[in-house]
Structures are given as C-alpha cells and as structure tokens.
Structure 1
Amino acid sequence: MLRRTISFLILAGSLRAEKVVIDRVAAAAGQQVVTLSAIRRHLRILALVDNSPLEDTQEARRKAADRLIDQALIHREIELSRFNAPTRAEAEARIQTFQKQRNLTQQQFDELLQRYGFTEDDFTEEVLWRISVTRFIDFRFSPGVQITDDEIKKYYTDEFLPQFRRRAPDAPLPPLDDVRDRVSQVLMLRKTNQAVDQWLAQMRTTVKVRYFEAVLGKEELH
C-alpha cells in the first residue's frame, strides 16, 4: 500500500488541463511525502521572507526537506490539538508589518511576490501557517519551560555582557536588573526550541524517514 502511495512520480494539476505537470517525491515520512516542487517553493518563500538570495542547491534542498518533514509532523499534531486557529485578519496585520519593515508600497509588495512566483493569497496562507506553528508551540511547550535565577545570571555573565561589549565597546554595561526580562525571554525561547527539537526527534523515531538523493539533486523538472 505504502509503495503504491509513494511512487517516484506524482501527477498534479487540474483534470481539465491540457498538460500534465510531473513532480517527484524528494523525501517521505511514513505515508506523508515531500515533493521537489514543495521544496523549491519552500526555498523561494525563505528567500523572500529573509530578503536573501535564492539558494537552490542540493544541500539547501536537503535542509528544506528536513524542515518540511518537521512541518508535516507538526501539522499532524495541530490537527489533534485544541487551540484557536489564526484568523485572516491576524495574517493581514502581520503582512502590513512586513511591508512596513521592508518599506514597501503595495505595488512593490505585489512585484516582490510575483518575482518569487507567489500571489498575495499564497503569502497569506504562509503567514497563517507560521502563526499556527507559533501558537502550537506556545500551547504545547512553553508552559513547561522554567527559567531559574542562576540560569539568568549565567547567561548575563557568559553571553549577554560579551555580546553587549562587542556591539558597544564604550557604552556602560547595563546592570542585570535592567535587562532581566530580556534575558528571560531569550532563555525561554532557547529552552522552548530545545523542547521542540527533542519532541521532533522523538516523533521521527515513530515514522520511517527517507530521502531520495537523486531527486534532491535534480536541477529542473522535465
């Protein structure tokens, strides 16, 4: 059954289309597959959001495949969890913030999306997904994270102060009490990410993860 489901060629597109688009399975986690087109789309959205050059190499595709497998595992858990899904209004607010941060007019934003092969609806769906993941992580992992005073002091001494000194060599060092909340937030995020990574690693042991290197190395689809 699984072998029939995960064929190396997947046909996609409208039944009324004159041409058939051929896609390839680049990775699989159990019965969930990651296609080459999904990987390339993921790389384009990363380049767009991060304002960085598009990197469509075999190494970048392998990393993207890993991220998409993680997303598939998270998506499965989101469907089983009970928390409020984000609204389109929330996504639109995030998009407005994105445009302001990039200093983009609506026309420039539309041109940017088009350059990377996306519509505004595509981008909105991406933002909705990112909000969903953040909300799931807060719902599932953040409540169990505890930060001790010793951890705060250690981070302040070992990491915060050296980083601050490199950024502002002549500025007076801020006392711990002035930056305690900021340090706590950094440690909270770090510990939450560690909890998520551990959970994903455990989830991966419950499914068979496979990569098809010949597909990941393909330059173009024919």
Structure 2
Amino acid sequence: MRWITHNTMARLLPGLVVPVVMAGLMTERGWAFSAQAAASTQTVAPQPAAVPAAPSASSVPKQTSNLTSSVGQGVMLDRVVAVVNGDVILESDVDEERRFEEIQPYRRSEAELAREKMLERLIDRALILQQAVSEPEDVVTDQELDAQLAGLRRDIPDCKEYHCETDDGWQKYLAIHGFTVEEFRERWLLRMKLLKFIEVRFRSGIKITNAEIKQFYDSKMLPEYEERKVTPPNIDTISKRIEEVLLQQEVGALLVDWLKSLRAQGSVTIMTPGEVAP
C-alpha cells in the first residue's frame, strides 16, 4: 500500500538518509578542508610537450565530474558549489550523489534527481553530520549490512538484467554507476549509521497512542481497501505496522524543523559559477 511502503525512513527522507561521509571520514572525501583556503574552481594549466604529474590525493577530490577543457584555459577538475559552516560541497559530490540515488530499489523521477535537489540534500546532510561529530558512533554489524545489501540485490529492478544475485553481476551493475563493490558497501554502511543517528535523536521521545493508530486505520486504510474492493486486515494484525508509519512521520517532521533551525543558526552559501568561496 502506498501509505506504508512510502513511509519507511529511507523513502520519507530520501536525500537526507543517504550518507556520504561520517565525521571521521570527511577529510578523505574533501569535506573538511577550510573553505577560506578553497577557490571556487581547481584548474590545471596545459603543459605542451609534457605529461603533467598525477595530482596527489590530498589536492584533488576522490571523484571528479563535469570535466571540461578549453585550449589555453586549462582543464576544470572540480569546483566548490556550496559552503556549509566552513565545510565545502563539490560539484563531484553532487554528481556522485545522483549516481548513488539511482541505485535504489524504487524508481526516482527526473525531478527528484535534479541537480538542485541533490545539492539541497547534500547541504542538509552536511548539517546533520556536523551535529553527529560529538555523538557516539552508532554501531552497524556486518550481519546487518550484509542483510540490507542482499535485499538490494534482490529488489533493484535493473539488477535482474545483470544477475546481481551473482558477485560478477553485482560488480558489473555497480560499475555502470561508477562505484566499486567496496565503495558502495562503505556508502551503504554510512547510510545505515546516519539513519540510526536520526532515529536515536528523535524517535525515543515519541509515543503513538492506540487512538492515533485507530484514526489512521479508519481514515487512511479502510477507504483505500474499499476503493480497491479488497477485504481489509483486522486492525489488531496490522497495528504494529501502522505504529511504525506514524513514528516515522513524526521523526520526519521533527527532522525538518531541526534542519530549518540549523540553517538559521549556521552559515550556508550556495556558489554560482565563477564565484570565489568565502
């Protein structure tokens, strides 16, 4: 049913709960270097008759996107697109976020995958990650991670074409989206950790009453079952699922308000092409 499957935390907060980097890994992905030291673009001047040396990992982000070249103007490797309380978001991060969002067991519309949407999600996630720095890291076991990844390999529609149930098929499918198996596993692990952080922060104080469960059953479920001409399940057999839906709706509302507060209290700058980072 629409009101159940779309209200899991992953669907309720699609961009916010897909992680990039937890606090301890920010430097590796280029999130933690000072915005004051970053220009809005990084360029490499052309070197005629010579092969330029490979840049070090510390000076160039792990992923690059929108590579462009122009004779006499150098080659653009990446650029800063936003600064969130001193942490930068790169154009390559936006590109990587889109590729990661495409690997989901449910379809995304082009509007949901628009660059502006991806950037807003990355900004919100950066704000959350900055708050998570002082919190104990939420533990996700290998068994939990393996179980979720196994479910993905079964549920992603396009995976059938690549036979993702096999390791070779899964590797080929991920490669099409620009990820290795190890990279995707790490990103999904971080996604799960961020989910736990959000739920621990907001869910513990929420109490769903029996009256709220019945009201949802009467006003949402019964009309849809009637429209489909299907016999509805007894409320006693589905009350736990309804409670979960309502809990996640409450968490989502609290999270949206919290993010608005973080934006108001902090400093978020979205860069325009050619603008120098503050």
Q: Same fold (TM over 0.5)?
A: yes
**In the alignment, residue 188 of structure 1 is paired with which amino acid?**
L
Matched, 1:86 2:140: yes
Find the counterpart in structure 2 of residue 158 from structure 1: 219
Encode CA deviations 1:57-109: one digit per residue, 9 max, x unaligned.
89811111111111112212222112433244532332122213345222211
One of 43, 67, 70 as aligned partner of 2:121:
67
Matched, 1:138 2:199: yes
The CA distance in 1 between the partners of 2:112 and 2:235, in whole Å, is 45
> SS of 1:160's equivalent?
helix
Q: Which has the higher helix share?
A: 1
One of 172, 180, 188 as aligned partner of 1:111:
172
C-alpha RMSD over aligned residues: 3.0
Q: Which runs of 5+ in 1 are unaligned?
A: 216-222
Residue-pair matches, total: 210
Segments of 4+ in structure 1 off by > 6 A? none
Shift of 1:15: 2.3
> SS of 1:80's equivalent?
coil
The CA distance in 2 between the partners of 1:51 and 1:87, in whole Å, is 25
One of 39, 49, 52 as aligned partner of 1:7:
39
Is the contact made by 1:87 and 1:128 (CA closer than 8 Å) also made in structure 2?
no
Query: Which aligned pairs between 1:156-195 and structure 2 lie closer than 5 A?
Result: 156-166=217-227, 168-169=228-229, 171-195=230-254
Q: Which runs of 5+ in 2 are unaligned?
A: 1-33, 45-53, 60-73
Encode CA deviations 1:40-65: one digit per residue, 9 max, x unaligned.
1000110122464794x898111111
Which one is further off, 37-46 or 103-112? 103-112
Is the contact made by 2:99 and 2:177 (CA closer than 8 Å) also made in structure 1?
yes
Query: Which aligned pairs between 1:198-209 and structure 2 lie closer than 5 A?
Result: 198-209=257-268
The percentage of counterpart residues that share the same residue type is 25
Find the counterpart in structure 1 of residue 155 from structure 2: 101
What TM-score comes out, normalization by structure 2 length?
0.66
Judged with a 3 Å threshold, the aligned counterparts in structure 2 of structure 1 residues 83 and 8 are, in CA distance, closer, same or farther, namely closer
What TM-score comes out, normalization by structure 1 length?
0.81
Judged with a 3 Å threshold, the aligned counterparts in structure 2 of structure 1 residues 117 and 200 are, in CA distance, closer, same or farther, namely same
Judged with a 3 Å threshold, the aligned counterparts in structure 2 of structure 1 residues 54 and 95 are, in CA distance, closer, same or farther, namely same
**In the alignment, residue 39 of structure 2 is paired with which amino acid?**
S
